[in-house]
Amino acid sequence: MSKRKFGLALSMVLAAGTILGACGTDKDKGDSSSKGDADKESFSIAMVTDTGGVDDKSFNQSAWKGIKEYGAAHDLKKGDGGFDYLQSSEAADYAPNLNKLVQREFDLIYGIGFLMKDAIEEIATQRKDTHFALVDEVSDLPNVASIMFKEQEGAFLAGVAAAKMTKSDKIGFVGGMKIPVIERFEAGFVAGVAAVKPDLEVDIQYTGDFAKAELGKAAANRMYSSGVDIIFHAAGGSGNGVFAEAKERKKADANANVWVIGVDSDQYEEGQVGDDNITLTSMLKRVDNAVKEVAELAAKGEFPGGEVKTFGLHDDGVALADSRGAIPEDVLAEIDEFAKKISEGEIEVPEFVKKK
Amino acid sequence: MSNRFINILVPVVSIILGLIVGAIVMVFSGYDPIKAYIALWNGIFGSPYAMGETIRQISPYILAGLAVAFAFRTGLFNIGVEGQLIVGWFAAAYIGMAVELPAIIHLPLALLAAAVAGALWGLIPGILKARFGVHEVIVTIMMNYIALHTVNALIKSISGGSYKTEKIHETASLRSEFLSNLTDFSTLHYGILVALAMVIVMWFILEKTKTGFELKSVGFNDQASQYAGMNVKKNIVLSMLISGAFAGLGGAMEALGTFGNIVSRSAFTGIGFDGIAVALLGANTPLGVVFGASLFGSLTYGAGNMPNEAGVPIEIVSIVIALIILFVASGYIIRVVLSKMSKKKEAK
């Protein structure tokens, strides 16, 4: 009895070994050939996500998209000497993840998100020969490039769109944590609304969290109930609650006039309710463009270390997404006009929220 | 098979079983388990850097495990380790940043502040339990939320509206040039020594003092202890106090060692909750906690190398690690199977 069991176990181990062995050699072959392509010539890049992960439908995902596009454009492969990412599940992972990528000798390493600042600065002081880039925060170290966005400019356009489209003359803004980045959204949005309808007051609420959809939903519920018809959210995952609330209202009453303006990436799909869609438009933050541009600069030997690269409307760093018919042509034309004025410097969008 | 042999065999068999089931999961999802396990091994022991980070990860787990285990020995289920750890983290970061003192006073003061903060956070559920019989599980869970959001508000107010505090002064830091050079710039710090010292402290209190005897006695049977003339209420409060102090020190590891400051969080750290598993794996004994924490800490840290070196996605890695821990935790089943097998043999 026990002998037979033993034999069975042995044969399974052997079988598994053969299968696994086959996998191993295959992978090895792939590796060696890819290493052959990627000589010292090619410029390799990698990124560390913050705790949002690489599929956060927000800036981590956008940054990874940029890195993949850079890789495709330069014929790089995922892995050593090409491009890659590491995901952080805890704040304690930031520094070790950055360090792992340094040890794998990537030429340029991105830290995505303002939370990475401390870790990037620590590793950058230790590894002076590696180049780093930090998104959404500023560092003075000579081997760190800082990538910032003029969120206020994109939010301004969202504000114009909202003010033009509102029927109840009530507009809402749902923010995540009250930090400088999100306040830029608020400041730009309020300014954009004021540029069209100076008397209109924006209902502003912060959820204090980027990952709690229920808080976003509660805020949206209060706003829609008080007559608000368009809400702009800059609240990451909490913003999904804003979408959920709007969709529920649309489902209950197909004629309900509720809209959401999405953030960071095109959130059109989030707003689909049957045949209707409650996404008015989305304010895009083109982390992908910024990531690509810094990589191109660095590959040419012009790495902007110690500098702050700011991406606004002018540099395709922010934009409004395709509204897919939700916004009529004449309003779009007006938005374009504002966009032109901003990118030519005719309108200066405020970066800070006015203190009341 | 002798009992002693089984005792050694059980954990080994459970880890191997966990690895095998994990491998099956990886094969089915199209990844190479051998490569992945080599990556796991390298992630834990592969380089001085990896070893440094692994030990760094183990330190707070030991303290969180001790906190849970200590309360458990008195029959209390302290789920509030998470909250006690967060207030300890804040207290240590604040003392480290706000005062300027020579290192010989500053560092112990910061550690003490963390322990006191954690102890106070543990004291409240302790008193409520002892005086009014409110179940400690409910109170400690709620205290976690209070800790999280109070600390977030405090961070904001002392940093002038920012989401993080300033870095602590060098004099309060557990980091050292020496350890950093030794381990190729890892974040290893002297916290592991603090953690191991606390292991000895817990062992000493429980095994060598009258108080420890009383605490354990209350854990076995509070009514019998009462009848024997022990002050049960006092022991419950004391147990939560000490448990909270351990947890607070766990927070100090993060404040004075790993991060050097505290950043406002939207969710719990998870270390306190993992502490429950660590304590149970270690059978609530001080030495057991060290083993439990080592297993947890090295798997948690080493797992990060599986996506890095073997390209296995982090989600699959989480499943594999959870399977290994699951099998280790269910060692009891393996023990039963093993003893049945040996009985059969004897019968033959």
pLDDT class of B347 with cuts at 50, 70, 90: low
Burial of A242 (0-12, 13-18, 19+ CB in 10 A): buried
pLDDT class of A5 with cuts at 50, 70, 90: low
Chain B residue closest in CA terms to A115: B263
Between CA B115 and CA B208 the distance in angstroms is 22
Residue B241 domain-assigned (yes or no): yes
Predicted confidence (pLDDT) at residue B13 exceeds the cutoff of 50: yes
Specify the number of domains making up chain B: 1
Q: What are phi and psi of B330, to 5 degrees?
A: -95, 30
Q: What are phi and psi of B250, to 5 degrees?
A: -60, -40
Contacts of B57 in chain A (CB under 8 A): 92
Instruction: Please give the average per-residue pLDDT across A299-315, as a whole number.
Output: 93
Distance from CA of B254 to the nearest CA of A (A): 9
Cα distances from A225 to residues A228, B39, B190, B309, in angstroms, run 7, 54, 55, 52
Contact between A149 and A136 under an 8 Å Cβ cutoff? The reply is yes
Spatial CA neighbour of A220 closest among A250, A190, A244, A188: A244
Q: Under CATH, which number does the domain A45-149+288-311 receive?
A: 3.40.50.2300
For A342, residues 6+ apart whose C-beta sits below 8 A from its C-beta are: A153, A156, A157, A312, A313, A314, A349
Interface test mutation site (partner B, options A6, A118, A182, A355, max chain B beta carbons within 10 A): A118
pLDDT digits (tens, 9 = 90+) for A118-132: 999 999 999 999 999
Q: Which of B23, B301, B308 sits opposite A86 (nearest CB)?
A: B308
Contacts of A28 in chain B (CB under 8 A): none
Residue contact B57–A177, C-beta within 8 A: no
Angle between helices B314-329 and B271-281 (to 10 degrees): 30
- Tell me which amino acid residue B273 is: F
Residue contact B27–A20, C-beta within 8 A: yes
Q: Which residue has the higher pLDDT, A37 or A15?
A: A15
Domain residues for B66? 58-305
Q: B10 is written with which tokens?
A: 């059980």
Between CA A94 and CA A115 the distance in angstroms is 9
Contacts of A97 in chain B (CB under 8 A): 304, 308
Cα of A323 vs its chain's centroid, Å: 19
Query: For residue A94, what pLDDT is reported?
Result: 93
Helix (H) / strand (E) containing A185: helix A180-196
Q: Does A90 touch chain B (CB under 8 A)?
A: yes
Q: Does A23 touch chain B (CB under 8 A)?
A: yes
CATH fold match for the domains A45-149+288-311 and A151-284+325-343? yes
Residue contact B49–A99, C-beta within 8 A: yes
Predicted confidence (pLDDT) at residue A45 exceeds the cutoff of 70: yes
Query: For residue B4, what pLDDT is reported?
Result: 74
Between CA B188 and CA A87 the distance in angstroms is 21
CATH number at residue B257: 1.10.3470
Residue contact A96–B304, C-beta within 8 A: yes
Q: Which residue has the higher pLDDT, A148 or A41?
A: A148
Residues of B at the A interface, defined by Cβ within 8 angstroms: 23, 27, 32-35, 49, 53, 57, 161, 163-164, 167, 185-187, 254, 258-261, 263-264, 266-267, 269-270, 301, 304-305, 307-308, 311, 314, 318
* Reported pTM: 0.82
Quick count: other Cβ atoms within 10 Å of Cβ B103?
Answer: 12
Query: For residue B329, what pLDDT is reported?
Result: 80
Q: Which of B32, B266, B314 sits opposite A27 (nearest CB)?
A: B32
Query: For residue A9, what pLDDT is reported?
Result: 52
Residue B328 domain-assigned (yes or no): no
- Name the CATH superfamily, with its identifier, for domain A151-284+325-343: Response regulator (3.40.50.2300)
Predicted confidence (pLDDT) at residue B343 exceeds the cutoff of 90: no
Query: For residue A212, what pLDDT is reported?
Result: 84
Chain A residue closest in CA terms to B52: A96
Query: For residue A173, what pLDDT is reported?
Result: 96
3-state DSSP call for residue A331? helix
Residue contact A97–B304, C-beta within 8 A: yes
Query: For residue B341, what pLDDT is reported?
Result: 80
DSSP letter for each residue of A25-45: HHHHHHHHHHHHHS-TTSPPE
Between CA B319 and CA B23 the distance in angstroms is 11
Domain ranges in chain A are 45-149+288-311, 151-284+325-343
Contacts of A127 in chain B (CB under 8 A): 185
Q: Which of B185, B258, B266 sits opposite A209 (nearest CB)?
A: B266
Contacts of A89 in chain B (CB under 8 A): 304, 314, 318
Interface test mutation site (partner A, options B24, B185, B253, max chain A beta carbons within 10 A): B185
Say how many CB pairs under 8 Å bridge A and B: 70
Q: Does A99 touch chain B (CB under 8 A)?
A: yes
pLDDT digits (tens, 9 = 90+) for A325-340: 899 999 999 999 999 9
Residue contact A20–B261, C-beta within 8 A: no
Contacts of B258 in chain A (CB under 8 A): 92
Distance from CA of A115 to the nearest CA of B (A): 8
Residue contact A19–B27, C-beta within 8 A: yes
Between CA A246 and CA A256 the distance in angstroms is 9
DSSP letter for each residue of B223-281: HHHHHTT--HHHHHHHHHHHHHHHHHHHHHIIIIIISSS-B--SS--SHHHHHHHHHHH
pLDDT class of A201 with cuts at 50, 70, 90: confident
Query: For residue B254, what pLDDT is reported?
Result: 95
pLDDT digits (tens, 9 = 90+) for B87-138: 999 999 999 999 999 999 999 999 999 999 999 999 999 999 999 999 999 9
Q: What are phi and psi of B325, to 5 degrees?
A: -65, -40
Residue B310 domain-assigned (yes or no): no
pLDDT digits (tens, 9 = 90+) for B215-233: 999 999 999 999 999 999 9
3-state DSSP call for residue A81? coil
Query: For residue A23, what pLDDT is reported?
Result: 44
Chain B residue closest in CA terms to A212: B266
Query: For residue A282, what pLDDT is reported?
Result: 94
Q: Does A93 touch chain B (CB under 8 A)?
A: yes
- Tell me which amino acid residue A298 is: A
Q: B287 is written with which tokens?
A: 């030495």
Q: Provide the mean pLDDT of chain B.
A: 92
Contacts of B261 in chain A (CB under 8 A): 118
pLDDT digits (tens, 9 = 90+) for A64-96: 999 999 999 999 999 888 999 999 988 889 999
Instruction: Please give the average per-residue pLDDT across B59-68, as a whole number.
Output: 97
Chain B residue closest in CA terms to A100: B308
Residue contact A212–B23, C-beta within 8 A: no
Residue contact B263–A100, C-beta within 8 A: no
